[in-house]
Amino acid sequence: MSYGALSAFFAAALLTLGGCAGAIARDDMSKDLEAALTTYGEAMRWGYFETAYGYVPPDRRRKIPQHLDNLRVIG
């Protein structure tokens, strides 16, 4: 195997691994988002509004309204 062919092989291998790393990172982000959405949905469904309120960005949070005891989420 010549030096040029060997260099091309390693370059292709590095590019392939770089592409896989990006796909793995996107997959991890997707799983994290899915877990957060599931937790948020369960908190809303079962009336754990303080837990769900934790998903609101800190700069947009206000006092939690007191009338949420009449709120029912069914789906």
Per domain, the residue ranges of the chain are 3-70
Helix H or strand E encompassing 30 = helix 3-45
Q: What integer pLDDT is reported at residue 34 of this predicted model?
A: 93
pTM of the model: 0.57
Identify the CA nearest to 71 among candidates 38, 42, 46, 54.
46
The set of residues, in sequence order, having a beta carbon less than 8 Å from that of 75 and lying 6+ positions away, is 45
Confidence of residue 63 (pLDDT cuts 50, 70, 90): confident
Confidence of residue 46 (pLDDT cuts 50, 70, 90): confident
User: Can you tell me whether residue 25 is helix, strand or coil?
Assistant: helix
Q: Token pair of 57, please?
A: 């960005």
